[in-house]
Amino acid sequence: MRNIQQLLTERLQAILPEADREFGIVQSCQDSKFGDYQASTAMVLGKRDRKPPRELAEKLIAGLELSDLCERPEIAGAGFINFRLKPEFAVRELGAESLFAGPAGKPQNARIAEKPPAESRKIVIDFSSPNIAKPMHVGHIRSTILGDALARIHRFLGNEVIADNHLGDWGTQFGKLLYGYSHFLDDAALAADPLGELERLYKVANDLCEKDESVLDACRKELALLQRGNPDRLELWKTFTTVSWQAFTKIYDRLGVTFDEHLGESFYNDQLEEVISELKLKKIAEESEGALCIFFREIASLNDKPFLIQKKDGAALYATTDLATLKYRIKRWNPDEIIYVTDGRQQLHFQQLFTAAERWLAGVDWAPARRPKLSHVWFGSILGEDKRPLKTRTGDPIRLSDLLDEAEARAYLLVNEKNPDLSQDERKGIARAVGIGAVKYADLAQDRVRDYVFDWSKLLAFKGNTAPYLLYAVVRIESIYRKDRTLNSELRTQNTLSLKELEEIDLAKAILKFPEVVQASADDHRPHHLCFYLYNLAEKFSGFYENCPVLQSSGAIRESRLALCQKTAEVMRQGLYLLGIETVERM
RNA sequence: GCGCCCAUAGCUCAAUUGGAUAGAGUAUCGGCCUCCGAAGCCGAGGGUUGUGGGUUCAAAUCCCGCUGGGCGCACCA
């Protein structure tokens, strides 16, 4: 599929002087009564050159060659240039056998078009990053789902993605955990729910530390032993990580999330010293109050906020590991961009990290001339109905596995109600897809920077901007196919479109917008644009579905409508795939 | 004290990053199943975009000042 917005922009920019090209951007119209696309070029240039915008617009239109794409552009308002696509153009554009490269009907790894290698960017996406020895809870869901969606979107656009799970598998918490493990272990509990037991042991030790200084000392000693490589402690630590990774894998499998790497903090342990000495040598870091830190004296907002690299006892910190990780990623992958998907509370940290990295990379010989763009993609918190961070009644964080269980259970009840005749296996499968899809969609459909209120009834409402509504649109199309016994599937994919009714044209034009929306979602790391688009597409399909009978019509119209259904389903499936949401045939 | 973020219909959220008359869902009211899945569709009401200024052809969006809420700031990650 081609990006129509880009196509129009290129046409417009082609007739502008080099220096004015930045003003030649064509945008989608908010209101279809003005057209499908619009440009405000004439108003901007008219203002600058003190010329009447409408006259300028007239000149621009005269120079444009667009007859293959749209009707003659119209001038409206203060000088808008409005473009309206020709239905014949949509017919041609959608006439391809399959809208996406890759196996027909299977969105998985499809591309909009193969990018030439020179244009393909290499992007490391750092996301999910749960802590070892703790069950994943709702706090991890946004990073996991958002990061995965961004990975899928970038791959679809032809970029090379390295999905890297930066596990929290090292740090001071392991002293307490080791202490708890050796004093209070419940073997039966460990066998039944390993992560739950490890979490309990940590809590027991942590509580004791607050009351008893001697326990805290004991924990410090355990930590020191681990860090010095004591074989027993190291063995236990490995057990912790193995058990944890197994539990995480279960969750990732349920969510359909995959990684290319999962290099935890421990992986960078032996690289920290080198980073510290480099920073010292280049005089980027300096000693202060016994610790080693980086100051940003010339930046007003960071002036009084030092970035700590090393504690006075010599231990490294979060910042140190992040810098070492950056170095490793540059040396191993030399990426064009590194995206960190974390919650918004870490904004200061990443501001400091990026600023420090800039100085550091400018002074070392291993850094490439073209340094990676560093992006912090942050998100708000998930709140309960009381507008406080989402917790269980007892105040503990909600386990992700429990949340997913509940989503599936609730969806299962609804499937039973609606489709009791399906086999239990099928109902379970649908409940899984719908339940998990609903949780994911509720998260992705919202602008990530805002906190969002978690609400089961809204999530699984099956109407409005929800996963079930979108899945339902696909199900209706599937249902049409099942009932269509006169045509085989090959005929559907042929170029048999003829767009007459308003609803047909609207739907076809909505389909054409898919590439530009995916691009926009990637550009500002905001998949909710794609969600909103799919919702709009589903609404357009509903309008078509109500007003344009498919199976009841006949001849060329019937074929055309079946083909339109096919194209709609293709885009819906592909779009949902990019969000990490499975589609179903019945629900 | 310094800094970051948020504020849009009763409620939950959009607004293609400065574009045209601020849109959906929900809730309320009213229509539509001898017709492809009614988990749906159509219609009605609902707004000084927290507030006061400013910038310009154009501001929910950018700048400054307030108010209210969330969060972060030296040895946790």
Contact A157, A455 (CB under 8 A): no
State the maximum Cα–Cα separation within chain A, in Å, rounded to a whole number.
Answer: 86
Residue A524 lies in a domain: yes
Condensed to tens digits (0 to 9), the pLDDT of residues A83-99 reads 999 999 999 999 877 78
In this complex, the answer to whether residue A246 has its CB under 7 A from any atom of chain B, a nucleic strand, is no
**Poorest-confidence range of A10-14, A429-433, A481-485?**
A481-485
In-domain check, residue A542? yes
pLDDT surpasses 90 at A583: yes
Domain count, chain A: 3
Q: What's the rounded Cα separation, in Å, for the pair A527 and A533?
A: 10
The nucleotide closest to A549 (CA, C1' atoms): B36
| Closest-CA residue to A28 (of A67, A80, A77) | A80
The reported pLDDT for the residue numbered A389 is 80
| Distance in Å, residue A547 CA to nucleotide B3 C1' | 56
pLDDT for the residue A110: 67
pLDDT of residue A99: 85
Say which CATH number the domain at A60 has: 3.30.1360.70
User: pLDDT band at A375, cuts 50/70/90?
Assistant: very high
Question: Which 497-526 residues of chain A approach strand B with CB closer than 7 Å?
Answer: 520, 524, 526
- Judge whether residue A51 contacts strand B, using its CB and a 7 Å cut-off: no
Amino acid A104: pLDDT = 52
The β-bridge partners of A343 are A379
Range of the domain at A40: 4-85
Residue ranges of alpha helices (H) inside A379-525 are 400-418, 424-444, 456-459, 467-483, 489-492, 502-512, 514-523
Q: Write down the pLDDT at residue A547.
A: 93
Nucleotides of B under 7 A from a protein CB: 1-7, 12-17, 19-20, 24-26, 35-42, 56-58, 70-77
Last residue of a domain, one of A35, A67, A85: A85
Last residue of a domain, one of A62, A85, A108: A85
At A271-307, the pLDDT tens digits run 999 999 999 999 999 999 999 999 999 888 899 999 9
Asked if A469 contacts A400 with a C-beta cutoff of 8 angstroms, the reply is no
Give A462's pLDDT tier (boundaries 50, 70, 90): low
Domain annotation covers residue A485 = yes
Q: Are strands A37-39 and A80-83 parallel, antiparallel or unpaired?
A: antiparallel
| Residues A381-398 pLDDT 10s | 988 877 778 888 787 888
Q: pLDDT digit string (tens) for A214-241? A: 998 899 899 889 988 899 999 999 999 9
Least confident of A115-129, A147-161, A188-202, A477-491: A477-491
DSSP symbols for A39-85: E-HHHHHHHHHT--HHHHHHHHHHH---TTTBSPPEEETTTEEEE-B
A61 and A193 housed in the same domain:
no
| Crossing angle of the two packed helices A514-523 and A555-578, in degrees rounded to 10 | 10
- Distance in Å from the first CA to the final CA of chain A: 29
Q: How would residue A114 be classed by pLDDT, with cut points 50, 70 and 90?
A: low
Taking the C-alpha atoms of residue A186 and residue A197, their distance in angstroms, rounded to an integer, is 7
Residue whose C-alpha is closest to residue A574's, from A161, A99, A252, A143: A99
Residue A155 lies in a domain: no
Torsion sign, CA atoms A100, A101, A105, A109: negative
Q: Is the pLDDT of residue A324 over 60?
A: yes
The ipTM value here is 0.96
Nearest to A392 by CA among A146, A191, A135, A181: A135
Q: What does DSSP say about strands A382-383 and A452-453: parallel, antiparallel, or unpaired?
A: parallel
Q: What is the pLDDT of residue A100?
A: 84
